Structure 1
């Protein structure tokens, strides 16, 4: 029986295409069945490609060093009202650096909530909004969540995250310096927030996210740490032009390309997870936020 390291890269590419609306589930499963005919185990294939969120908890919600709750915020230009997962350190301080955590294209799943807890345990106030709150919130599975998010108006989702960023930046526990980290769609949102209002972010870390619209990129002032996986052809093809625009705008940026890493390599709930690269990328992220948000 094969393990995830023996699964052909094309299977991960199919999943990426499926996860981003390029093919439906029936087509995706049919392609996987073709690999089964070649001797691969469907159990191993789906186990590597589809998320298992029991694997993603690195910091328990019961951890004594953090306190987690939910908070709502107004979003008059978006869906009217938003809600997110707020995690704060239990150390007593007047204020903290704050970080917005932005999920992929399927709502606030357990992996992203855990990322918020990791940040709080590291000394940041973290807030992870759920784009699906207007339609009932993350439904408990990614397929349904992905379909729900696809049905929402993209511009209103962007306004919801913009409102969430302002809510967090002005929070009573905030030191006034806002960072943002996001994954896939969330990586795009970090790039968008940096571009749509020049003075909003003090630091942004987009993981494998595409750039904001070209017309907005000249507005970027916040320092950026771009995290990319070497095997992520879909996202990486946007990087050369984005880098040119960042240089033209005089942005303080750095890009890390992680060798042999796939799209989603930081997500420890799927077979795309690359432990060594994920840990390196995360340590770089924490150091970057500590430097830029203190």
Structure 2
């Protein structure tokens, strides 16, 4: 995966002024756009789209400091107007191209990334791979922002809005693995950008043939392989730490890649105040 990401960075650098075909490059490198974007975001700490924008604007700054027309610079950078180019430039540098041309700055440069293998992973990660037939996830869904660290208040509010009896009702509907009450993240931005919206579903897994009550949302999950990570510790810190370690430690060391689909957290046991919990993190995968 490290070699793939470095090839990606080189490709971006060679095509900064062109439309970048990430899907085509991923196929050429023997992987998928979905997996590349998720791994890049997790390891680089920013979405791939944001990195491309920062690099384009870093390179464009040298042209802005010259005496060429701004429209020509905008077009070379792939923008159809000086207004669109100026918005992107300001988002990266904090000032407009005109300000930089008059004052020489300030400028904020995004260096070209280099991914390197470091000696990590000294703590073994317990996992299991399981093949599951098609099933359904049913429950109460809401659109919420993605938060990488800490408690998500929108998810908290969504769960708190459900009557206590509803949790028992959902548990009673469960008839498939993962068992018990589930925290499901679906329709996640492939770049895994913080603040982007996802569908959060508080519910359970049922077989593909189980009828769906009219008041519940259903997510159809196709047949496929899943990697399951057990997690025990402070909640949600231990879960978020394990989530990050899947990208930094597990995926680079194993012949599996993420495939599109929901990520599932099965809460097996928890403290009364939910300060700690024992969970399983389920992620849909396929062989590299």
TM-score by length of 1: 0.25
Max Rg structure: 2
The higher-RCO structure (CA 8 Å, 6+ apart) is: 2
